[in-house]
Chain A
Amino acid sequence: MEWFEIGHIDDIPLRGARCVMTPQGKIAIFRTADNEVHAIEDMCPHKKGPLSQGIVHDASVTCPLHNWVISLETGQARGADEGSVKTFPLRVENGMIFMLLGEEALVAAE
């Protein structure tokens, strides 16, 4: 496991998202209205929609393709839909965001 610096919190618009490219694929980094940051796989469990492109509300994002609502904290689909995406731990220090990438990511990179 390793922490990677991925950028400053102000690089992400409030209630918005940016992507980080990793050996595990695209990871979406969200910033909520309350200035919390969350990282999840950028792929909706429904039809692989890019969640980073959705509308962010509360600690959730609504997928741009078919309006599934995914929790940014747990990665679980909310409401009647069932499915989940991976989440990744983040740490913020002085506004800089660090993401913990698992060993599988690093192994996959070799």
Chain B
Amino acid sequence: MTQKLVIIGNGMAPGRMLEHLFETDPNAYEVTIFNAEPRVNYNRLNLSYVLAGEKTYEDIITHSDDWYAEHGITLHKGAKVSQIERDAKTVTSENGITASYDKLVIATGSSPFIIPVPGHELPGVMVYRDLDDVEKMMEVSKGKGKAVVIGGGLLGLEAAAGLKEQGMDVTVLHLMPTLMERQLDPAAAYLLERAIEQRGIKVMTKANTHAILGVDKVEAVKLDDGTILDADIVVMAVGIRPSTQLAKEIGLDVGRGILVDDVMRTSDPDIYALGECVEHRNMVYGLVAPLYEMGKVLADHLTGGAAEYAGSVTNTKLKVSGINLFSGGDFAEGDDREEIVLRDAVAGVYKRLILKDNRIIGIVLYGETSDGAWFFDMLKKGTDISEMRETLIFGQAYQGGSPLDPTAAVAALPDDADICDCNGVCKSQIVDAIKGKGLTTFDEVKAHTKASNSCGTCAGLVQQVMQLTLGDAFNADAITPMCGCTDLGHNEVRHLIVTKGLKSIPAVMQELEWKTSCGCAKCRPALNYYLVCDFPDEYADDYQSRFINERVHANIQKDGTYSVVPRMWGGVTSSDELRAIADVVDKFKIPTVKVTGGQRIDMLGIKKEDLPYVWADLGKAGFVSGHAYAKGLRTVKTCVGTDWCRFGTQDSTGLGIKLEKFMWGSWTPAKVKLAVSGCPRNCAEATCKDIGVVCVDSGYEIHFAGAAGLEIKGTEVLCRVKTEEEAMEYIVALTQMYREQAHYLERIYKWAKRIGYDEIRKAIVDDAAKRAAYYDRFVFSQKFAQVDPWSERVSGKDKHEFNPMATVGFPQAAE
């Protein structure tokens, strides 16, 4: 006897289920479908093409009216089911249609999640889910106006691209630091963000929507940081939640979704559920492949088969034309896992395979995704890839080839790209000289082209150009790589960051073809410094790439407590300051107070949780951070100079304070300590500092490149100047030159020795224009650097750093 099968919902999951069902046994069931949408079944995945104007509704229909007729299906369009009688086995729709069932399938799908910010109910706020939404968007946009899309995930980006195609001015807001963070690693997300922005869509990450503004309709979106973005429409695409209302009302077991077993059966044996509304083995799916797999299992079960659904491994593709990305499986790293990374900076390609026990377990592909399906197939099948491991990443069609070329990044530079900035030598000049004059050694190239003849930071690049031009005929001295993540040395990386205008860590790693996806504790702090230094206004400091001391603005001690050193300008203090310090020491029971070598007071043994409170109290007394933890300007040590000393020749204390007030807050490759002595007796010990001043009767003698640590080295004399203003200018310019050229963690004395003392004198003393330019760049960067990090944290910044996330498991908490 034919049984009655009633389906609630007419999406892609039940559509596919029915196809399988009719294939197996066309006469097993008499099928009735209730569809809340007034339509036949269409392919929701292709909505973005409709929005982009590349397809019409008719193009994306999967089952036409004829198909329903052919299979004898009764389809109630625009009929939303409002009641289910489980005892009587009937369903009734809002518009009064009742049908009885033997088996019922709930496929109510999901609904978009609306963030309940103020203004979310204003006209013009919409979601992106079904054809009605798309039609509404196309109606409102009509090719003009401003759209703000909230959510930088799959749906949000597709909506944004569609609206842009319609001619709107589009901004995407994303809460997380990188787009599609659930599907992509940061490297691929960087490429994606770049591609999205190249289409003229503005992307704002770490953007938290505060409110939607408007009177009768949407007018603007306000972010937490106060930014206001004008908007004619706002599209929310932040996620979906399973539609479980109906199932809940009739008392089925519901978790996040309707709970089903491995044959898609709910807690009522005659009611099944499938698609986005279900929860199976703790998983809720929002992608099409799992829905199809569920449909297949349910069709088999309903026709007496024994198929079981064991959950799905999913993959993602972004459906924005011109952007190719693919991700699937598990792409977290771990030490039982290995990764193969292929980056091609020129082509904008990033491929990463994650392997475990010689099997692929995760895939991220960007730019070139044609092998996605092949990789994914091996992932699902658990294919052993050890045989093809060496060539796996090149894809299925790979027929043999050469290993990756470490000089590729240099090869990709255009002919007119400057290789040596000091002497203005571009790539083609070097290539021409090598070819024209038959040069074979680095020294010859230096002599003929003047490239790398001054500061020397481009030596590695010049050698790579030689390598490219001469091939095996050239054997460069090996460049010491920054770390295991790259073949490039510090010089090359610093140079390429500037030449190529790379303004984020993912950008550097992609364009310079890093061998790891996320760098390491060696390269990340270095890259972060280089970017802070080179793009002070544009680069967003990445705190997670800083050492703990710079992250929490205090010095970690061996027992995990911290020490705090307030700034005492030029080493001068007062009774009020000392009293405030004494009070803080008492209040927080600080175990040790110590005077430092740089004329400051150090409080040691402070618990991390207490830091913001300690700073709050110190701040009230006028103290700011002493940066005793920073690769940055530390202290300016002074003697009392002409104020008190009978030998003093100049106001050394005053100059020290001026220097410190001018230079505090600046980040440098390694720590920088200064001193100003009022006479050649040199009580401030200026001649073993990074930069020192020894005052003399006729003016100021400026010293640099001293060391009194691991090595002991007296300073070199830079020059003598007459006035305080000149002394300031020379010292600041020298510091900036060091900031721009040194390797991360390289102290001034090592940098100076590497590039030559005379080079420094030439740039800072002999060349007034260069000195002024260095000075100006330092002043510019200080605009962004001189913020007291302590008061910022007292006002709540990075609160998470100082408090435990939770306290659990103790008797009272365990209740």
Contacts and interface: CB of A to CB of B under 8 A. Distances in A.
B332 A34 contact: yes
Nearest to A64: B548
A22 B182 contact: no
A87 to B, nearest CB: 11
Contact of A105 (B544, B547, B809): B809
Interface in B330-375: 331-337
Task: Please indicate which of the listed interface residues B176, B177, B814 has the most CB atoms of chain A within 10 Å of its own CB.
Answer: B814
Contacts of B800: 11-13, 16, 18
B332 A59 contact: yes
B464 interface: no
B185 A55 contact: no
A63 to B, nearest CB: 9
A54 B548 contact: yes
B521 interface: yes
Given A11-B800, A18-B805, A109-B810, A62 B521 contact: yes
B333 A99 contact: no
Interface in A61-108: 62, 64-65, 67, 69, 71-74, 76, 78, 93-94, 99, 101, 105-106
Contacts of A94: 256
B541 to A, nearest CB: 13
A94 B284 CA distance: 10
Contacts of B805: 6-7, 11-12, 18-20, 29
Interface string B531-557: 000000000000111111101100010
Contacts of B806: 4-7, 20-21
A6 B808 CA distance: 7
B544 A50 contact: no
Contacts of B552: 53
Interface string A33-49: 11110000000000111
Contact of A36 (B282, B332, B547, B809): B332
B521 A78 contact: no
Interface in B760-815: 800, 804-811, 813-814
Contact of A55 (B182, B545, B809): B545
A86 B559 CA distance: 19
A78 B335 contact: yes
B649 to A, nearest CB: 45
A23 B333 contact: no
Interface string B253-287: 00010000000000000000000000000100000
B332 A22 contact: no
B665 interface: no
A67 B334 contact: no
Contact of B814 (A53, A57, A109): A109
B197 interface: no
Contacts of A34: 185, 331-333
A20 B813 CA distance: 13
B809 A32 contact: no
A49 B181 CA distance: 31
Contacts of A14: 176-178, 181, 544
Interface in B156-186: 176-178, 181-182, 185-186
B558 interface: yes
B290 interface: no
Interface stretch (B15-23, B419-427, B512-520, B699-707): B512-520
A76 B335 CA distance: 9
A37 B256 CA distance: 21
A32 B354 CA distance: 15
B524 interface: yes
A22 B185 contact: no
B525 interface: yes
Contacts of B177: 14
Contacts of A109: 809-811, 814
Given A14-B177, A35-B182, A55-B525, A65 B556 contact: yes
B499 to A, nearest CB: 26
Contacts of B807: 20-22
Nearest to A19: B804
Task: Please indicate which of the listed interface residues A49, A57, A99 has the most CB atoms of chain B within 10 Å of its own CB.
Answer: A57
B814 A54 contact: no
Contacts of A56: 544
A90 B313 CA distance: 20
A37 to B, nearest CB: 10
Interface string B699-725: 000000000000000000000000000
Contacts of A49: 560
Given A11-B800, A20-B804, A59 B558 contact: no
A57 to B, nearest CB: 5
A62 B528 CA distance: 17
Contact of B521 (A69, A105, A110): A69
B706 to A, nearest CB: 27
A6 B549 CA distance: 26
Nearest to B187: A33
Contacts of A36: 332
B186 A33 contact: yes
A105 to B, nearest CB: 5
Nearest to A98: B808
Nearest to A2: B814
Nearest to A49: B560
A60 to B, nearest CB: 7
Contacts of B811: 109-110
A48 B560 CA distance: 8
B668 to A, nearest CB: 19
A99 B808 contact: yes
A76 B334 CA distance: 11
Contacts of B335: 59-60, 71, 73-74, 76, 78
Nearest to B485: A57
Contacts of B525: 55
A32 to B, nearest CB: 6
Task: Please indicate which of the listed interface residues B186, B518, B556, B809 has the most CB atoms of chain A within 10 Å of its own CB.
Answer: B809
A109 B69 CA distance: 68
A78 B549 CA distance: 23
Given A14-B544, A18-B805, A94-B256, A57 B518 contact: yes
A11 to B, nearest CB: 6
Contacts of A22: 807-810
A75 B412 CA distance: 42
Interface in B636-686: none
A75 B214 CA distance: 52
Contacts of B809: 2, 4, 22-24, 101, 105-106, 109
Contacts of B334: 58-59, 71-74
Interface of A: 2, 4-7, 11-16, 18-24, 26, 29, 32-36, 47-50, 53-60, 62, 64-65, 67, 69, 71-74, 76, 78, 93-94, 99, 101, 105-106, 109-110
Given A13-B544, A99-B808, 17 more contacts: A5-B806, A5-B808, A7-B805, A11-B800, A15-B518, A21-B804, A22-B808, A29-B805, A32-B333, A33-B186, A55-B546, A57-B519, A67-B521, A69-B521, A73-B334, A76-B335, A109-B811
